[in-house]
Amino acid sequence: MAHAPKSNFSNPVVNWIDQRLPIITMMNKEYGSFPTPRNFNSLWNFGAIAMVVLATMIVSGVVLAMHYTNNTALAFDSVERIMRDVNWGWMIRYIHANGASMFFIAVYIHIFRGVYYGSYKAPRELIWIFGVIILLLMMGTAFMGYVLPWGQMSFWGATVITNLFSAIPVVGEHIVTLLWGGFSVDNPTLNRFFALHFLLPFVLIAVVFLHVAALHITGSNNPLGVEPKGPQDTLPFHPYYTTKDLFGVVLFLIFFAAFVFFAPNYLGHPDNYIPADPLVTPAHIVPEWYFLPFYAILRSITFSITLPFTDVVLIPAKLGGVIGMFGSIAILFVLPWLDTSPVRSSRFRPIFKWWVLLWLVPAFLVLGYVGGKPAEQPYVLLGQIATVMYFVFFLALPIIGRIEKPLPLPASIAKPVLGGGSVATGATAQVMEKA
């Protein structure tokens, strides 16, 4: 123990443990005294909210797995048995089914906050990248989870989405066979999806841990986007943000409970109460609401791209749609480098602010709307316009970074006075006043 720091806890048991594994010292450092910007607004609650929803999903999901049967002949009825005969089964299932939606609501708001306040910028790029990985894992997990009840939308959603991989040149068909475990969506598909649906959330936890660990190296961004300059700019995480986060979490749980208890099927699709039937295709195959924007991008590529002046197809429409859909997420990975402005917060970015609020947000909402509509006009055109808007949002960022004149930044968080001068001089312009 020569190199171990001496712990000074009054409780001898705590002290004994902490001497050997300083986990209590660490928790105290990371969640007790951890210096946190003092000026968070309520949008900063959604990280904690997403964490609570993830925990809820895992607990409810493990209980459901104890009663669920992953066989195509039995799955649908086993879910109904949970709803009817398992003690509190209806509540656990409705929590889990609506919890997926709640997770996406929390995470979409969390991502919006990150974009609006430039949280992805240096030195927090890696936190952002872990976040995008979390989003991808969530999507995979949610998609496979929706297949498990083996209703009509489960089956046909799985068929449509897994078929997308066949668009990949050369290896596409093999990937699809591997995903299916055969030549169509069937029992092997259900079995592997169940295994992966159980596994991926734990991978998710590991990435969430990295996301938070990296956050605790750089510290949090804040609504002003200027780094804390001293203790007057921060508050210890506990009790200030533990109480604030918990208040936000409880408010969100009220919203969550309203769905679970009073509108549990509102976000679902009636067709998923019909057992899967490979011989009957539903009139409209619609994914869950949280996939609709990406589904709209997928369907908006209705044309093949050919070599100019020839009939040689370079990218068939299906592959184009798949590239568009995955590209819409992949582009998030490079967002920290597309946005060249040194200013983080939209509060001081007169162009970027409206570029987010009046361009990106409407494009995303229109995509969500179009994704739920049948693939016919005018929705196809609307979806194509919104798809272009979505990608243009990112591609125009280097230009905006160049032409935009940011407003003067405050000297510090504790003194958010517009102290004249530009970004460069702002930091040194004002003498700090004691908070």
Partner 1 sequence: MRRLRNLIAAGVLSVAGLTAGAQAAGDAVVPPAQEWAHGGVNSFLSFFKGYDYAAVQRGFQVYKEVCAACHSMHLLHYRNLTDVGFTEEEVKAIAASVEVTDGPNDQGEMFTRPGVPADKFKSPFPNVQAAAAANGGKAPPDLSLMVKARSHFEDYVYAILTGYEEAPADSHLPPGANYNKYFPGHAIAMPMPLFENGVTYADGTKATVPQMAHDVVTFLAWAAEPKLEERRRVGIMAITFLVVFAGIMYAAKRRVWADVH
At closest approach, how far in Å is the CB of 391 from partner 1? 26
Q: Does 31 bind partner 1 (CB under 8 A)?
A: no
Q: Are 104 and 290 in contact (CB under 8 A)?
A: yes
| 36 DSSP 8-state letter | E
316 binds partner 1 (CB under 8 A): no
Of 257, 272, 277, 301, give the one whose Cα is nearest residue 390.
301
SS3 call for 404 = coil
Active site residue 245: yes
- Residue 125 gets the label, from left (phi > 0), alpha (psi -120 to 50) or beta, of alpha
Q: Which of 250, 358, 375, 424 binds partner 1 (CB under 8 A)?
A: 250
Residue recorded with tokens 């125009």: 396
Does 377 bind partner 1 (CB under 8 A)? Our answer is yes
Marked catalytic residue, from 220, 300, 341, 345: 220
DSSP 359: I
Active-site pick, 245, 271, 339, 404:
245
Q: What is the DSSP string of 163-185?
A: HHGGGSTTTHHHHHHHHHTSSSS
Residues of this chain, 191-210, that bind partner 1 according to CB under 8 A:
none
What is the rounded CA–CA span in Å between residue 95 and residue 374? 29
Residue number, 70 or 152, with CB nearest to partner 1 = 152
99 to 9, 149, 248, 255: CA distances (angstroms): 39, 15, 17, 11
Q: Exactly one of 251, 365, 375, 399 binds partner 1 (CB under 8 A); which one?
A: 251
Question: Per-residue contact track with partner 1, 34 to 73, x per CB under 8 A?
Answer: ----x-----------------------------------
Residue 261: strand, helix, or coil: helix
Known catalytic residue at 288: yes
Q: Which of 243, 302, 422, 428 binds partner 1 (CB under 8 A)?
A: 243
User: Of the candidates 258, 417, 418, 432, which one interacts with partner 1 according to CB under 8 A?
Assistant: 258
DSSP 186-212: SHHHHHHHHHHHHHHHHHHHHHHHHHH
Q: Which of 94, 103, 143, 156 contacts partner 1 by CB under 8 A?
A: 94
Contact call for residue 87 and partner 1 (CB under 8 A): no
Applying CB under 8 A, among 75, 126, 235, 325 the residue interacting with partner 1 is 235
Does the protein bind partner 1 through residue 266 (CB under 8 A)?
yes
**Cα 275 → chain centroid:** 30
> Which of 25/232 has CB closer to partner 1?
232
Name the residue nearer to partner 1 (CB basis): 243 or 428: 243
DSSP 3-state assignment of 35?
strand
Shortest reach from residue 417's CB to partner 1, in Å: 15
- Quote the least distance from Cβ 85 to partner 1, whole Å: 9
The one among 17, 43, 59, 91 contacting partner 1 by CB under 8 A: 91
Asked whether position 240 contacts partner 1 by CB under 8 A, the answer is yes
In the complex, what is the shortest distance from the CB of residue 401 to partner 1, in angstroms, rounded to a whole number? 34
Residue with tokens 């702002």: 426
User: Residue 342 in contact with residue 227, Cβ under 8 Å?
Assistant: no
d(CA 282, CA 158): 13
The one-letter code for the residue type at 251 is L
Least gap, CB of 98 to partner 1 (angstroms): 12
| By the rule CB under 8 A, 186 interacts with partner 1 | no
Write out the DSSP string of 265-324. TTTS-GGGGSB--TT---SS----GGGHHHHHHHHH--S-EE-TTS--EEE-HHHHHHHH
Considering only the C-alpha atoms of the chain, give the largest distance between any 2 of them, rounded to a whole number of Å. Answer: 81
Should residue 365 be labelled a site residue for partner 1 when binding is judged by CB under 8 A?
no
- 126/260 with CB nearer partner 1: 260
Smallest distance from the beta carbon of 135 to partner 1, in angstroms?
A: 28
DSSP 406: P
**Pair of tokens at residue 383:** 């979806």
Looking at the Cβ atoms of 9 and 90, the one nearer to partner 1 is 90
Catalytic residue chosen out of the listed positions 18, 288, 339, 404: 288
Instruction: Just list the catalytic residues.
Output: 216, 220, 244-245, 288
Site residues (CB under 8 A) for partner 1?
38, 77, 80, 83-84, 90-91, 94, 235, 239-240, 243-244, 246-247, 250-251, 253-254, 257-258, 260-266, 270-271, 273-274, 283, 376-378
